[in-house]
Amino acid sequence: MKHAVARFVIVLCVFMGLGSLSITANADDTAVGVLAATPDEMALLLRLSHAVDHENGLRIVPMAGKGPVQTLTDLFYIRGVDAALVPSDTLAFMERNGLLENIDSKFAFVVRLFPLDVHVIAGPHINSLSDLDGKTVATGPAVSESYVAGQFLLGATGISAKTIEANGAAAIRAVVEGKADAAILVGRKPLPELKVLESDMGLHLIDVAAPEGLQDIYAPSLVTNEDYPRFVDAARPVETISASLVVAVLDRQRGTPQYAKIQRFADGLFTALQRGSSGDASLNLAALVPGWSRHPAVAEALESHAEKLQTATQSKVEN
């Protein structure tokens, strides 16, 4: 009797173990770990996670990153991280600073979600970028979105400025209080930090043109009166530059399980985005990103998605 009970326990343990392995394997195939570089991007990621849930049997597992540079680094090194939401200029910043060898061949992108505009907001005595030479500029904490843009912008224009780590609302406050002459903020316009101000507080946005050497990283953009009625004249928009928020993945090889997973992830994500989950009505799934290559698995998913969309549209017309 004792032997029979022992055999039953052993069989039960083996069965439970195999069942656990089956569940784990299935979860590994369907769960996509995605890092968000900032709290704002985490909010977007949570919306995307809900929208993608069970598309192609997938489930997004949101993960909190620690700034764009660390987030892209974690995508490369940490097991279980399959994708990341990062500003597009992060890749060039890491490459130019030697933070990963052959970095341009390690990463690819799935989709460009929306522009991230560079805002240079200054006090009344600053009228152009060149006026910041020898001045103090709030660029945010090291390797933050605004820090990366600030390093590129100040470096490419040869401006020697003292930088402080104030970011967001704290950076604006530093300019108002005279602790900084200008602040560099990066994000999707309109920035909440500027939108909520009840007056211009003596601040204004200054024009920014992409300096030589940065045209392959940033695209030209305009900030309008519609974005910031208190800071921009209706008759004169402010010129600036923008990066993009991208969904990045490792450049996995064809024929690997990771390649197939990226393809399923891209197809599910495209379906969710087509329903408006990014909050950007002008989203173009096929948009290119300066300095980035689209993953081949994503290109295949994009082609398949376009065909399915065309078929569905034709069916609606015929009915």
Residue-wise pLDDT tens digits, 122-169: 999 999 999 999 999 999 999 899 999 999 999 999 999 999 999 999
55: exposed, middle or buried (Cβ count in 10 Å: 0-12, 13-18, 19+): middle
The class level of CATH for 2-113+252-318 reads: alpha beta
Give the residue ranges of DSSP H helices in the chain. 2-30, 39-52, 68-77, 89-96, 145-157, 169-176, 192-195, 257-274, 296-318
User: Residue 282: which pLDDT band, with cuts at 50, 70 and 90?
Assistant: low
Q: Do domains 2-113+252-318 and 116-244 have the same CATH topology?
A: yes
Tokens 């609606």 sit at which residue?
A: 316
312: exposed, middle or buried (Cβ count in 10 Å: 0-12, 13-18, 19+): exposed
The class level of CATH for 116-244 reads: alpha beta
- Phi, psi of 230, deg, nearest 5: -80, -20
pTM for the full predicted model: 0.85
pLDDT at 291 over 50: yes
Where exactly are the structural domains of the chain? 2-113+252-318, 116-244
Tokens 């991007």 sit at which residue?
A: 41
Measured CA to CA, the distance from residue 223 to residue 117 in angstroms comes to 8
What average pLDDT does the structure give for the chain? Answer: 86
Cis bond before residue 87 (omega within 30° of 0): no
Nearest to 172 by CA among 201, 147, 143, 152: 201
SS3 58: coil
Mutual orientation of helices 89-96 and 145-157 as an angle, nearest 10°?
60
What's the pLDDT tens digit per position in 193-208?
A: 998 887 788 899 999 9
Residues 6+ apart with CB under 8 A from 212: 156
CB atoms within 10 A of CB 45: 24
Mean per-residue pLDDT, 260-285? 82
Identify the weakest region by mean pLDDT among 79-88, 117-126, 207-216, 235-244: 207-216
Residues 6+ apart with CB under 8 A from 184: 118, 119, 120, 137, 138, 139, 140, 146, 149, 150, 153, 171
pLDDT at 223 over 60: yes
Cis bond before residue 190 (omega within 30° of 0): yes
pLDDT at 246 over 50: yes
User: Residue 111: which pLDDT band, with cuts at 50, 70 and 90?
Assistant: very high
